[in-house]
Amino acid sequence: MHFWTEFTGSISHDEFMRWALYHHTHGYYLQERNPIGPAGDFVTAPEHHPAFARLVGRRVTSVLRRLRDPGSSVVVEMGAGNGTLAAGILETLDRTLPGPPLQYWIVEPFPVWRRRQQERLAPFGDRVCWLPDLDACPPFRGVFLSNELPDSFPVHRVIRRGDSVRELQVVHQGDGFAEVEACPSTPALAEYFRRIGFLPAPDRKCEVCVGLAPWVRQVARRLQAGSFLTLDYGATAEELFLAGPSEGHLRACHRQAHSTPLADPGSQDLTAWVDFTTLLRTGREEGLRLEAFTTQRRFLLAMGWESERRHDRSGRRRALTDLVDPAQMGSTRVLELRRDE
């Protein structure tokens, strides 16, 4: 209950997640304990098997080769975790892309994560630089990359009642927290569904991330030529709001197991599936075109996963298979938007 004393009444899930994940003292992502890895709360694909970074690196190489002057391009990663994906991509670029070493920019607002990344990426020297936020990112040509980033953006929770949408807000109840129905806390929720073109199915709880579209706009307005590439858990708007689980896709993870999202804020990860329809539509509004929307399984197979399997000497064959197994990580969605020169 670290931060609840600062609130009275009810708050949106969006505000609850901001405090639970990003509070400057008690926020989950700002703790010294590293949550990624077998000893943490969750494992991401780059940490699961090194083949993931090599295969993503091949796609990055392909995009850069199509630019008129690959040597002047950069890779920008946001949400770089421990730096494992960045290290694998840089090693792949060094092997596959001729010319001088490319620059790699990491957008990272949190010092605790920046320290982890700097330690992991020290062998690459001043090729890697850090930016505190997207506002500090200058216009660039190359690739913008994220892996499991927007699923950690704060979300509102809503439910359709009749012909209108109600918001599910958070209240302090006894020794814990609970949801209550209330009027929408922001007109941005109505605007979101107006842009989507339909309301959720009746009585279905779902999550709305009003920060998705502004994020894509920020990136697209800096990407002069190249690709916006994001991999994450999610679905189309139709899949999210008209089908799927009736309780929505908000999840908590603690010690490799699912937990109750409102339990013990600050001590567990909180994520929600990403609305890829909003990502795609917003990108198109900013002049990007669709290059690919697929699953991680199809993406990695197209990048040469079978070759990785044949030459794998890591002794981690099960982990390698998990990357493309639809019951594991293979169902993750992959979206690539492109701006041509």
The pLDDT-based confidence of 3 (bands split at 50, 70, 90) is: low
The pLDDT-based confidence of 6 (bands split at 50, 70, 90) is: low
Q: Is the pLDDT assigned to residue 323 strictly greater than 90?
A: yes
pLDDT of residue 4: 55
Q: Which residue has the tokens 């189309």?
A: 236
Task: Work out the mean pLDDT of the chain and round it to a whole number.
Answer: 93
Write out pLDDT tens, residues 238-248: 999 999 789 99
Write out pLDDT tens, residues 196-242: 999 999 999 999 999 999 999 999 999 999 999 999 999 999 999 99
| Domain 35-153+210-233+273-339 architecture | 3-Layer(aba) Sandwich (3.40)
Q: Is the pLDDT assigned to residue 5 strictly greater than 70?
A: no
- pTM metric for this prediction: 0.95
d(CA 338, CA 336): 7
Residues 6+ apart with CB under 8 A from 194: none
Ranges in the chain annotated CATH 3.40.50.12710: 35-153+210-233+273-339
pLDDT of residue 87: 98
d(CA 262, CA 279): 27
Average pLDDT of the residues in 245-274: 89
311 φ, ψ to 5°? Answer: -105, 10
Write out pLDDT tens, residues 63-113: 999 998 887 899 999 999 999 999 999 999 999 998 888 999 999 999 999
Residues 6+ apart with CB under 8 A from 39: none
C-alpha torsion 38→41→45→51, nearest 10: -10
Q: Is the pLDDT assigned to residue 341 strictly greater than 90?
A: no
Give me the helices (H) in 23-170, please.
Answer: 45-48, 51-65, 84-96, 111-120
**Three-class SS of 123-138:** HHHHHEEEECCHHHCC
Average pLDDT of the residues in 261-285: 95
pLDDT of residue 1: 47
Average pLDDT of the residues in 128-138: 97
